[in-house]
């Protein structure tokens, strides 16, 4: 059953903090009494001991293979469709990933699902799609764009949020330091000039995710 809210977690770069934020968000939302699901539609990695799916499953208490089905694990640190090809496997396709995520929703219905992409917003997840296509295809209520707070972030965030349209966005400035003048100015610019929802803490992101969409009771 589709969770009441579906949030796609993506970012302006690889290694920007998507899994870190998803884990912290899941823990926080669960501590608030909400039922949380996490999904990683596809993953590629260098070491299989603590993949994103392991970290997400540990954070939500779900079965590892419900978070990311075993046939979507590619043990090569390249974009998933490239990793699949290198391994001699058929690259995943958009429709397959969307069907697998939709079929994975559990009963009873979760309050919030956090779906982590791979790489950055426009990195290939499948032969024919990136995270923006997954967000639209799932009818995501919101996308969380994890970004760095420093020089160049306005460009990165603008490109990312435009690519995600029409999915509503909250920007999370990871490792934000309020004492850094540039961080504070970037935050203000994104919020005041660009009119974006900007968060600098897990708790603030959680409020935006809970309020997103308002699809269900």
Ligand X SMILES: Nc1ncnc2c1ncn2[C@@H]1O[C@H](COP(=O)(O)OP(=O)(O)O)[C@@H](O)[C@H]1O
Beta bridge partners of 197: 170
Tell me 115's DSSP state: E
Edge-first strand order for the sheet with 112-116 is 36-39, 112-116, 5-11, 142-147, 169-173, 197-199
Could you say whether residue 141 binds Mg ion (CB under 5 A)? Answer: no
Could you say whether residue 175 binds ligand X (CB under 6 A)? Answer: yes
Give the contact letters, 12-31, x = binds to ligand X (CB under 6 A), - = no.
--xxxxxxx-----------
Angle formed by the axes of helices 52-60 and 18-31, nearest 10°: 10
Residue 20 or 189: which CB sits closer to Mg ion? 20
Q: Applying CB under 5 A, which of residues 3, 12, 52, 144 lies at the interface with Mg ion?
A: 52
Q: Applying CB under 6 A, which of residues 51, 174, 186, 200 lies at the interface with ligand X?
A: 174
The residue behind tokens 């429709």 is 95
Closest CA to 169 of 100, 122, 121: 121
Q: Nearest distance from residue 19's CB to Mg ion, in Å?
A: 3
Q: Is the peptide bond before 166 cis (omega within 30 degrees of 0)?
A: yes
Select from 7-15, 107-115, 177-185, 190-198 the region that touches ligand X (CB under 6 A). 7-15
Catalytic residue list contains 181:
no
| Cα 3 from Cα 108, distance rounded (Å) | 9
Q: Applying CB under 5 A, which of residues 19, 153, 186, 200 lies at the interface with Mg ion?
A: 19
Residue 129 or 176: which CB sits closer to ligand X? 176
Could you say whether residue 43 binds ligand X (CB under 6 A)? Answer: no
Q: How far is CA 161 from CA 118, 122, 211, in A?
A: 16, 11, 19
Could you say whether residue 54 binds Mg ion (CB under 5 A)? Answer: no
Cβ pair 170, 202 in contact under 8 A: no
Contact set with ligand X (CB under 6 A): 11, 14-20, 174-175
- Active-site residues: which are they? 40
Contact set with Mg ion (CB under 5 A): 18-19, 52
């Amino acid at each position: 059953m589709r969770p009441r809210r579906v949030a796609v977690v993506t970012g302006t770069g690889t290694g920007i903090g998507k899994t870190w934020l998803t884990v912290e968000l899941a823990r926080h939302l669960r501590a608030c009494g909400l039922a949380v699901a996490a999904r990683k539609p596809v993953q590629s990695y260098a070491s299989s001991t603590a993949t994103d799916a392991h970290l997400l499953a540990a954070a939500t208490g779900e079965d590892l293979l419900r978070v990311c089905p075993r046939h979507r694990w590619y043990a090569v640190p390249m974009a998933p469709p490239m990793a699949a090809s290198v391994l001699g496997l058929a690259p995943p396709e958009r429709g397959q990933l969307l069907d697998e995520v939709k079929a994975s929703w559990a009963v009873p219905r979760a309050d919030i699902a956090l779906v982590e992409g791979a790489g950055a917003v426009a990195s290939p997840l499948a032969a024919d799609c990136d995270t923006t296509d997954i967000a639209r295809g799932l009818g995501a209520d919101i996308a969380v764009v994890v970004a760095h707070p420093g020089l160049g972030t306005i460009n990165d965030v603008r490109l990312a949020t435009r690519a995600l349209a029409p999915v509503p966005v909250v920007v999370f400035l990871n490792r934000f330091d309020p004492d850094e003048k540039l961080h504070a100015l970037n935050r203000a610019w994104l919020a005041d000039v660009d009119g974006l929802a900007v968060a600098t803490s897990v708790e603030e992101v959680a409020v935006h995710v809970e309020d997103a969409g308002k699809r269900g009771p």
